[in-house]
Amino acid sequence: MQRILIIGASGYVGSHLTPVLVQKGYQVTATARNIKPLQHRGWHKYKNLNLHPLDLKSPSALPQLLHQHDVVLFLVHGMAHGHDFIDYELDLAHNFRDALKKSKIKHVIYLSAIQPQKGTSAHLATRKATGDILRQSEIPITELRAGIIIGSGSAAFEVMRDFVYHLPLLIAPKGVASLSAPIALPNLIYYLLKLLDSEPERHQVFDVAGPEIISYEQQMQVLANQTGKRLRMVSLPFFPLKLSTYWLKVVTSVPHDIASALVSGIKHNLPADNQAICKRYPQRLLTFEESVDEALNHENEAIRNNLWGFDPSALTRWQTGYGYYPKQTGYKVQTTASSEQLWSTIKTLGGSHEYFYANYLWRIREWIDVLCGGNATTRRRAFPDELKTGDHIDSWKIIKVEENKFVSLLFGMKAPGLGRLEFTITDMGDKRELDVRAWWHPAGFKGLLYWFAMMPTHLFIFKGMAKSISHKAEKD
């Protein structure tokens, strides 16, 4: 059985492919710059899976990793890095190529992007350039060029989904008439699995796509139909594409740099010629409607992980239409108080001790909840001196605890969406950092309005809470 190295396992495709490979018996090493998101997925039960931190910007550990594996799945992109993601992504490709030249890797599978027939965008051009760089290693490279991947959590899919769910009226640039060839996640994973069992002697490039060439406007219309929404769209030819990227920060919680890079490519037609791979690895390709239906059936994966403590209350409250990627805001403060002192202070949250700062605002919000049919004024706590998973602090439920490090509370008041409040303590040597942060999955347009209406209050309260907790801890 081949030993598989996944570079970029925390991304959308990597996070879905990794458990499939492990369940099929492969010996898998999943890497990411930050492996905490991987640890939160509950993968510790797999004995044939190793999680390994890897930063291709400083790839000192890469040669040894390559020596221990047979095949590499290269699923890295730099879109989340920021405005200079092009140079960043190409630097990573050069570093990986240099390490490959000294390795005995048999095969590299690289997930790339379909290229436009005319013109280009920085994002798409960088994907192609990365493939060119990897081929310089002389290791057989199989480049799969994919368009939009349809699946719950896919950045491109979630951008469209958020536009459909969150806006009563969508003003769109003329690019929405451009054509693309989306592919369902299960179809893409099938191709990746088949390629793992091959040992090509030369480089290969395949377009991978679903059975339809369909415009972005049609895709959003199908999505609206499948979810019972009414799509009100006005396409303005003179509406600048760049202006639409500013809407992204408001409408969607998909990381802005990723969403902006994706939107920049919609002005191009992206048809695919998938005949070669269809002939080699035949399968039934899901139609776009089937792909959307499949994605919507897996929406609750957003909270079916350790970030939510696999909490049954959260799973019960999750509804179709909640934003997959959460909004978030908070405040960080550094303090000389120890982790134990900070934790001891945080443990007094709620009840008669209240909420450290601006308690009158908390009381107002609780009474609003009562007027809406809630019971936020009820004071309850089974373990007054401890933070234990499953306990309640007033209207909040503790869903995850790491003593002296982290506690997460499920939001229990009436509101259009699902949220949690986190307190995170990070030891930085001579100081500690305390982060008080709220996460919110909005329920449609109302959930979005609620979040932005509460934003000024959140910024005020969390800053005050973080400072108050640190000051109190320092005195103790």
pLDDT of residue 75: 95
pLDDT of residue 420: 95
By three-state DSSP, how is residue 104 classified?
Answer: coil
Residues of the chain below pLDDT 70: 78-84, 239-246, 261, 265, 352-353
Whether this model's pTM surpasses 0.85: yes
Q: Report d(CA 189, CA 183) in Å as an integer.
A: 10
Domains by residue range for the chain, with CATH? 77-297 (3.40.50.720), 306-475 (3.30.530.20)
The count of other CB atoms within 10 Å of the CB of residue 87 is 12
CB 425 within 8 A of CB 466: no
Beta bridge partners of 393: 396
- Digit-coded pLDDT (tens) for 173-213: 777 888 999 999 999 999 999 999 898 989 999 999 999 99
pLDDT of residue 103: 94
pLDDT of residue 83: 55
pLDDT of residue 44: 79
In the block, tokens 């990986």 appear at: 96
CA of 26: how far to CAs of 49, 57, 109, in Å? 8, 27, 16
- Digit-coded pLDDT (tens) for 210-265: 999 999 889 999 999 988 888 888 877 776 666 666 677 788 887 777 777 677 76
